[in-house]
Amino acid sequence: MDDAKGPLLAMCLFFLFGSTVLGSCTADTSDDPVAQENADNNIVTLNTEQDMDVVYTTDYQTEIALTLQDYKDNNIYTLEDPLMVANPYGTNTTGLYVYFTTDTPVKISYTVSAEGYSDFSRELYGEYSTEHEYLLIGMIPDTVNTITLTAVDDEGNTVGTKEIEYHTSPLLGSTKNVQLEVTKGESSAELSDGLYTMLGNRTEEDNEQTDYILLYDNNGTLRSEIPIKSYRACNILFDDSHMYYSTSADEIAVMDNTGQILTVYSMGDYQLHHDYIFGSENDLLVLASQENAETEEDRILSVDLDDGTVTELIDLADLFGDYLDSLSSDEPLDWMHINSIRLIGEDSIIISSRETSTIIKIDDIYGDPVVDYMIGSVQFWEESGYDSLLLEQVGDFSLQAGQHCVEYETSDELEDGQYYLYFYNNNNTVCDTRGYDYSSDDSYSGTYSGTEGEESYYYKYLVDENERTFELIEQIPVTYSGYVSSVQQTGNNLLIDSGNAFTAVELDENNTPVQTLAGTGDTWWYRVFKYDYSGFWFE
SS3 state at 173: coil
Which helix or strand (DSSP H or E) is residue 98 part of?
Answer: strand 96-113
- φ and ψ at residue 536, rounded to 5 degrees: -120, -80
What share of the chain in percent tops pLDDT 90?
87
For residues 206 and 203, what is the distance between their CA atoms, to the nearest angstrom?
Answer: 9
- Contact, 420 vs 462, CB < 8 A? yes
210-254 confidence digits (pLDDT tens): 999 999 999 999 999 999 999 999 999 999 999 999 999 999 999
b/e sequence 7-38, b meaning 16+ C-beta within 10 Å: eebebbbbbebeeeeebebeeebeeeebbeeb
SS3 state at 324: helix
For residues 171 and 177, what is the distance between their CA atoms, to the nearest angstrom?
Answer: 11
- Mean pLDDT, the chain, rounded, equals 92
The Cβ of residue 137 has, within 10 Å, a number of other Cβ atoms equal to: 24
**What one-letter code names the amino acid at 5?**
K
| Sheet (strand 236-239) strand order | 236-239, 242-248, 251-256, 261-266
- φ and ψ at residue 182, rounded to 5 degrees: -120, 125
The Cβ of residue 297 has, within 10 Å, a number of other Cβ atoms equal to: 23
Position 203 scores a pLDDT of: 53
What is the tally of helices (H) and strands (E) in the chain? 6, 36
Position 47 scores a pLDDT of: 57
85-135 confidence digits (pLDDT tens): 999 999 999 999 999 999 999 999 999 999 999 999 999 999 999 999 999
Name the CA radius of gyration of the chain, rounded.
Answer: 25
- Contact, 529 vs 194, CB < 8 A? no
For residues 109 and 102, what is the distance between their CA atoms, to the nearest angstrom?
Answer: 14
240-291 confidence digits (pLDDT tens): 999 999 999 999 999 999 999 999 999 999 999 999 999 999 999 999 999 9
| Strand 469-479 to 455-464 pairing | antiparallel
At residue 158, does pLDDT exceed 80?
yes
The Cβ of residue 510 has, within 10 Å, a number of other Cβ atoms equal to: 9
The residue-averaged pLDDT of 493-507 equals: 97
Predicted TM-score of the model (pTM): 0.94
390-444 confidence digits (pLDDT tens): 999 999 999 999 999 999 999 999 999 999 999 999 999 999 999 899 999 999 9
Give the end-to-end CA distance of the chain in Å, rounded to a whole number: 31
